Amino acid sequence: MFSKTLLALSLASLAIADSVEFGLITIRSGSAYHLLSIYPKDGELVAGSTDVSNNFVVTDAGELKLVNDGTFAAVASDNTIKFGSTDPSTKFFLQDGYLQYDTTSVGFSVDTSYQLLTGSSGTGVALRTVTKGGSVAPDFIPSADSTTSSSSEAVSSATATSTFTTITNKNGTSNSTVPPVTVEEGSGNYLNAGVNVAALAAMAALIL
C-alpha cells in the first residue's frame, strides 16, 4: 500500500511538471530580425539585445512563464504578448526545438518596433529554444493542450532558404555558424532545419 501511494505521488508530480528552462532567439535569416534575444520590456515581449539572462518554461497548463520573476504571458487582442497577467494564455507548447502558440501554423512575427506578436501581421520569425547546456529544448505538449497540430503540415511552395550565417557576440566577434532555415512565407511558420548543437551552444553563451 505504501509503495503504491509513493508511485501515485510520483506519477502525479510528473503529470504537473513544467518544461525545461530555455531562452529564446529569433530565426529570420537575411533580415534585421535574425538571432535576436526575446525578453520582456515594459511588460511586453520584444526582440533585441539584452544583458539580462531571461529564462522561460511552458507549464503543464500551457502557460509561458518567465522564470526570472514568475510572471505569465497573455496574448492580447492586438496579438502582442504581455507579461504579468492574472489571466495567462494557455496555448503555448514546444515542438521540434521551437516555441509554438495554439498550432504550428500560427507562428510569431516581429513588427517594426521589434515587438513580438503572434500570427503573421509583422515579419515572420521562428522562436528557437536554447537551454543552458546549449541544446534545444525537448518537445513539451501540455496535458491541457488538445489543439496542437503536427509539424509535418503541408508547406507552401513560396519558401526561402538562408545561407550560413555568422553569429556575432556583444564584442563583435564570433566564428560560429548556423545552417540554413526554411521559411514558409506568409504564415510566420518556420520548419525545423536542424540547427546544430554546436551553433546553439554558441547562442546560449550569448543569451543565457
Burial bucket for residue 29 (CB in 10 Å: 0-12, 13-18, 19+): buried
For 111-160, the DSSP string reads: -TT-BEEESSSSEEEEEEEE-TTSSPPPPB--TT------TTPPPPS-EE
Q: How long, in residues, is the chain?
A: 208
What is the residue type of 191?
L
| Mean pLDDT confidence for 44-56 | 96
Residue 9 resides in a domain: no
Give 53-96 pLDDT, tens digit per residue: 999 999 999 999 999 999 999 999 999 999 988 899 999 999 99
Q: Give the CATH number, domain containing residue 120.
A: 2.80.10
Q: How many CB atoms lie within 10 A of CB 92?
A: 29
Q: pTM for the complete prediction?
A: 0.68
- Establish if 7 belongs to a structural domain: no
Within a domain: residue 163? Answer: yes
Q: Which domain holds residue 26?
A: 17-207
Provide the 10 A C-beta neighbour count for residue 11. Answer: 9
Is residue 10 included in any domain, yes or no? no
- Say if 112 falls within a structural domain: yes
Q: Is residue 1 part of a domain?
A: no
How many angstroms from the chain centroid is the CA of residue 60?
16
> What's the pLDDT tens digit per position in 92-137?
999 999 999 998 788 999 999 999 999 999 999 999 999 999 999 9
pLDDT at position 105? 81
Confidence of residue 145 (pLDDT cuts 50, 70, 90): low
CB 74 within 8 A of CB 82: yes
Rounded-to-integer distance, Cα 70 and Cα 65, Å: 6
Q: What is the pLDDT of residue 104?
A: 77
